[in-house]
């Protein structure tokens, strides 16, 4: 008896592998649980520290102001939340959200150790089904997390739903490199250097191979812009950083 081929509509990508939709969340969770304790160290090693500049620019250009309520999705170890807290001030609040308990715990412990308590809350949430009422936030941020979401369109719709009118979604994510020479160097670093760093520093080459592959499967700048518009965002703009290695997408709820 011949085997029945799975319906392509029931599968999604996990790196370069096609997997059942229902399994991707578990597989991604396993990756980030594995790397949580070494996540910040690996980010420094694999980006030569440039990720800190990207994140700082992301926060500085976010338009977040004193008194704002901000939801930071895929907040991980708290880099973005730490940058946004002084911007919202004593009258504002930042909710650090992440689907992965190990990553959320790393972020909470780090921020507590730094004495960052006031105006900060934590929530283990799935970006595709946020447990917040409509119009709860002035801004929603997500840095290096959207590519790991199974249903990106659903996550974008949820981000739009929980924003107040005039609020904005800000997405910092790896994107499509424009310069051919830079792309060759970037591909070499991603597929030859990155897994070796993962093995050396985190004892996990496979997870960092997935991370490199997940970047290549993520929608490029123009495609993500179109997806945001389809989710209801207006005035969507894109800013490339470091030749398009990463890009900042911004969209407003009107």
Please tell me the distance from the alpha carbon of residue 191 to that of residue 21, in angstroms, as a whole number.
25
All residues at 6 or more sequence positions from 230 whose CB lies less than 8 Å from its CB, including other chains: 153, 156
pLDDT of residue 37: 66
Q: Which of 165, 164, 48, 72 is nearest to 122 (CA)?
A: 72
All residues at 6 or more sequence positions from 147 whose CB lies less than 8 Å from its CB, including other chains: 173, 174, 214, 215, 217, 218
pLDDT of residue 215: 84
Q: Is the dihedral of CA 117, 118, 120, 122 positive or negative?
A: positive
Domains and CATH numbers, the chain: 50-174+219-252 (3.40.50.150)
Averages of pLDDT over runs of 10 residues in the chain (254 residues) are 48 75 75 69 75 95 98 94 96 96 91 90 96 98 94 97 98 92 89 81 76 86 98 98 96 98
pLDDT of residue 38: 66
pLDDT of residue 3: 39
Residue holding tokens 């921020």? 111
Q: What are phi and psi of 232, to 5 degrees?
A: 110, 5
Residue holding tokens 């979401």? 149
Please tell me the distance from the alpha carbon of residue 76 to that of residue 63, in angstroms, as a whole number.
22
The pTM score is: 0.85
């Amino acid at each position: 008896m011949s085997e029945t081929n799975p319906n392509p509509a029931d599968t999604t990508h996990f790196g370069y592998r096609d997997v059942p939709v229902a399994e991707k969340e578990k597989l991604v969770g396993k990756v980030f649980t594995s790397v949580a304790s070494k996540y910040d160290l690996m980010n420094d090693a694999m980006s030569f520290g440039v990720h800190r500049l990207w994140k700082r620019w992301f926060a500085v250009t976010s338009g977040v102001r004193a008194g704002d309520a901000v939801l930071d999705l895929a907040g991980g170890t708290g880099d973005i939340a730490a940058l946004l807290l002084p911007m919202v001030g004593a009258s504002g609040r930042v909710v650090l959200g992440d689907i992965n308990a190990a990553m959320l715990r790393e972020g909470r412990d780090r921020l507590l150790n730094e004495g960052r308590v006031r105006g900060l809350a934590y929530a283990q949430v799935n970006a595709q089904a946020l447990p917040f009422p409509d119009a709860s936030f002035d801004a929603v941020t997500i840095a290096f997390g959207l590519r790991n979401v199974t249903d990106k369109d659903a996550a974008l719709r949820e981000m739009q739903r929980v924003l107040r009118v005039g609020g904005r979604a800000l997405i910092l994510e790896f994107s499509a490199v424009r310069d051919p020479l830079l792309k060759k160097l970037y591909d070499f670093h991603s597929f030859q250097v990155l897994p070796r760093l993962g093995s050396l520093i985190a004892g996990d080459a496979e997870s960092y191979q997935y991370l490199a592959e997940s970047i290549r499967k993520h929608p490029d700048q123009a495609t993500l812009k179109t997806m945001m518009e389809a989710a209801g965002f207006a005035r969507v703009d894109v800013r490339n950083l470091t030749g398009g290695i990463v890009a900042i997408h911004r969209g407003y709820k009107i």
